[in-house]
Structure 1
Amino acid sequence: MNIERIHVWDCVARFKQGVYTNSRCQKSTTRSRVFQILGTGGWKGFGEVVFPFALAPYLEEELIQAEGIFFSELIGKNVDHLMGRAEAFRTQEAHWSSVAFAFETAWYDLQGKQQNATISSILHGKRSHRVTPYISISVSDQRELREQLRAKTKYEKIIQLKLTNQSWADDLAWIHQILDHHPPVELLLADANGKWSVSEACGMISRFQDPRIIWEEPCATYSENAQVEQMTRQRVMADQCVGSMGIAEQAVREKAVSAITIKPAYLGGLSTSRYLLDRCAERGVRVRVDGPWCGGIGAAAVLHLAAGVESELLIASCNLQAPLETLAMPGGVVEFPDGKLSPPEGPGLGLKDESLDERFGVPQAIYST
């Protein structure tokens, strides 16, 4: 199959709660680039360039300005060139990994549709299962935290709490609020977003001996986080500090932290993430599979990866569309009454074969012969 046309849209989604806050930045919107590849025979494949949450605007524009080159080069080529270009993007600066992820997503979508198979079955060679999600909470004060907890259901048992990293008193109070007053919680991911020094992290973590806590990214680097786990003997999860394949593989090989996150949009695609999952399974390193907040295409791709991971290995995944107003986007996540998630049923991403032109209107750019 050859690529005949590519349609591209700019997609900006607002956060439902107004502003989403973590220790690195505050944002009211997220941005992605959605594209539709039309191949010979009428086949359609979808991709979404998911910009990292804290990516500088000038770097977003750098990727957008380069579209005219890398999309034009694909016209008339076999769809397998998508995977070749993804490999090339992974050799560039880190923010190009999001483009590699989008290209691989489109390739897997097309392959799944041609084979009448889901992306999950192509990746894992077996039937996917439903995934336990985590719920991410970002608040500015304890009153807001109480309100959010009241809205949670008995099925929401894994909570990620974005810590302020500004007031230890607030962070302590918020952690106790969840552990002491929210009975359904089975696991709390206390996320410092890499803002603590090793000594600060050890000082905070030593105040707790609750086995329900995993301390997510207390420090900025993998080596610091490994040191914190060694010193405190409490579970640490490495997140964005293992955002490159080299460091992620080192973390798995050394097994110096209890868990890592696998983010296909940062690691350069589904194939590289699948490779890393295999290494985690061999070493017994537990994982969380997710990524930056995004639309339905990116969310579905990530869930297809998560849905084939053995439950003993997978801590959780999440609905990456959940905090966003994404009415125009295809629904990339299926939520069940028991709170579990799965990607949509159907070949490829499971987003059927609808034309994105009908959802988004006139494309911002069209590339064709």
Structure 2
Amino acid sequence: MSRHEINHVLITPVAFTDPPLLNAVGVHEPLALRAIVEVHTVSGLTGLGETYGDAGHLELLKKAAEAVRGASPFDVGRLWSVISGAIGGASRGSQSGLTGLATSGKTIGSVVAPFDSAFYDLQGQILGEPVWSVLGGKHRDRVDFSAYLFYKWATHPGGDEDRWGQALDPDGIVRQAQKMLREYGFKSLKLKGGVFAPDEEAEAIEALRAAFPSLPLRVDPNGAWSVETSVRVGKRLGQTLEYYEDPTMGIKGMSEVARRTGIPMATNMCVVETGHIPEAIRLKAVQVILIDQHYWGGFLPSLNLAALCKTFGIGVSMHSNSHLGISLAGMVHLGAATENLTYALDTHWPWKDESEDVVSTADLQFIEGAIRVPDKPGLGLELDRDALGRLHDKYLASNIRTRNDTGYMKSIEPEYEYVAPRW
């Protein structure tokens, strides 16, 4: 038995506070779910991964955990085949709150990803090198992030107002952006759309341009608009946008909008596995792909995707979901190791209560909108077991087991229905 052989995997579901952020499928629930994956070796080392915490996903993670026992952390290239064999052709389906195509490949990737993260974390600890070094070296000392703006209520029903307050119109969005820039120093702005009528959201983008004339701007309606609406709004905004993210559903629809507006189209919804790339290239549907280590399968598949994007002249950004510090560290290491990272990364980090985490994030501070790339071995993180226990207790005390933005919205506004496209 190798001293670095994996002999135990621990999976802990956790919950943490989430504001009432509005989106195309509803509104965020009061708690966000994540799963913390600990991969332990015979020698006593622990590698960390973070992933979705939905009930169905937890069951697949348990099957994967059994499959990787006895492996070496350096077997990372075999993870996809080993785990896909263990979970079969499972698909988590289309969950309310997780937008985009639901495919078996995306499901496999989202199960592989936290193990990929933990394996690379272990490799770095064994070698005494940071993850970015194990991935081939860093291309930058700082990784830039973008402000992620949301329409939002002041509070969840019956709750206390959070520090961000209400944002339901262009003025509210501008105030939110001003606060985010003061606190984090971001150098670009992204608005989550698909909430109000498209012209209202276009007004918000125009208000942001007036308030921040030099900052790159993005809008992401999450496929809530038809092709015709996407074209009309795209022509209205013109060169205001750095890129136009998933205004409409599907590769063919995106291709039509790209052809008729000339605006770079970005996606994390219609291209979510490598099999989608040939058609997207053939139809010139996307000019930017948002990598997400959490469903592309981790660091190694994400780097492979970035290399493919470079070959075909496609830009690279990075997608975000509500996340904790392990994911943030992973984004920084991957961002450092990705040569052709063309755009600032998304992050939900400002929306999280920073007192709620399972690791110390002292080395992951935002300075002028960027995080300095850490030099500690592995991910450079140490699990706080007391904090992990508190967030696990919060999970156990809640009745949330699957993210359901639509269901939560309907519990507040019974007449609400998710429709795509809505406009």
| Shorter-chain TM-score range | 0.7 to 0.9
Equivalent residue in structure 1 for 2:202, among 169, 172, 197 = 172
Equivalent residue in structure 1 for 2:385, among 344, 350, 357 = 357
1:71 aligns with 2:65: yes
Change (3 A) 1:106 1:250: farther
2:39–2:115 Cα contact (<8 Å) kept:
no
Deviation, structure 1 residue 89:
4.1
Give the corresponding residue for 1:54.
none
> Where does 1:112-131 land on structure 2 (aligned, <5 Å)?
112-126=124-138, 128-131=140-143
> Where does 1:206-355 land on structure 2 (aligned, <5 Å)?
206-248=235-277, 250-251=279-280, 255-310=284-339, 313-326=341-354, 327-331=356-360, 334-351=364-381, 354-355=382-383
Give the corresponding residue for 2:81.
87
Letter in 2 for 1:38: H
Deviation, structure 1 residue 74:
3.5
Equivalent residue in structure 2 for 1:37, among 31, 36, 39 = 39
Cα distance in 1, alignment partners of residues 235 and 346 from structure 2: 29
1:83–1:103 Cα contact (<8 Å) kept:
no
Deviation, structure 1 residue 112:
0.8
Change (3 A) 1:192 1:123: same
1:257 is paired with a residue whose SS is: coil
Equivalent residue in structure 1 for 2:219, among 190, 197, 206 = 190
Cα distance in 2, alignment partners of residues 363 and 153 from structure 1: 29
Length-normalised TM-score, structure 2: 0.75
Cα distance in 2, alignment partners of residues 127 and 206 from structure 1: 36
Q: CA offsets per residue over residues 97-137 of structure 1, 9 Å max, x none?
A: 22211010011000111111111122233464212211110
Change (3 A) 1:138 1:186: same
Deviation, structure 1 residue 357:
2.8
Cα distance in 1, alignment partners of residues 234 and 312 from structure 2: 26
Deviates more, 1:147-156 or 1:85-94: 85-94
Letter in 2 for 1:335: Q
Give the corresponding residue for 1:4.
7
Deviation, structure 1 residue 85:
3.9
Deviation, structure 1 residue 276:
1.0
Cα distance in 2, alignment partners of residues 362 and 14 from structure 1: 12
Cα distance in 2, alignment partners of residues 195 and 179 from structure 1: 23
Cα distance in 2, alignment partners of residues 84 and 363 from structure 1: 32
1:136 is paired with a residue whose SS is: strand
Give the corresponding residue for 1:56.
none
Give the corresponding residue for 2:27.
26
Cα distance in 1, alignment partners of residues 196 and 257 from structure 2: 20
Deviation, structure 1 residue 8:
2.4
Letter in 2 for 1:251: A
Deviation, structure 1 residue 227:
1.6
Change (3 A) 1:344 1:217: same
Cα distance in 2, alignment partners of residues 182 and 362 from structure 1: 40
Deviation, structure 1 residue 62:
2.2
Cα distance in 1, alignment partners of residues 376 and 75 from structure 2: 24
Stretches of structure 1 lacking an aligned partner (at least 5 in a row) = 52-59, 365-369
Cα distance in 2, alignment partners of residues 356 and 7 from structure 1: 14
Give the corresponding residue for 1:367.
none
Equivalent residue in structure 2 for 1:153, among 171, 177, 181 = 181
Q: CA offsets per residue over residues 6-58 of structure 1, 9 Å max, x none?
A: 2221111212xx2122112311332111021221222111111235xxxxxxx
Letter in 2 for 1:103: F
Letter in 1 for 2:6: I
Equivalent residue in structure 2 for 1:104, among 116, 119, 136 = 116
Cα distance in 1, alignment partners of residues 264 and 139 from structure 2: 31
Deviates more, 1:166-175 or 1:128-137: 166-175
Deviation, structure 1 residue 363:
11
Deviation, structure 1 residue 335:
2.7
Change (3 A) 1:139 1:81: same
1:206 is paired with a residue whose SS is: helix
Deviates more, 1:148-157 or 1:136-145: 148-157
Deviates more, 1:102-111 or 1:314-323: 314-323
Deviation, structure 1 residue 80:
4.7
Cα distance in 2, alignment partners of residues 361 and 275 from structure 1: 36
Letter in 2 for 1:48: E
Give RMSD over aligned pairs: 2.6
Cα distance in 1, alignment partners of residues 330 and 373 from structure 2: 8
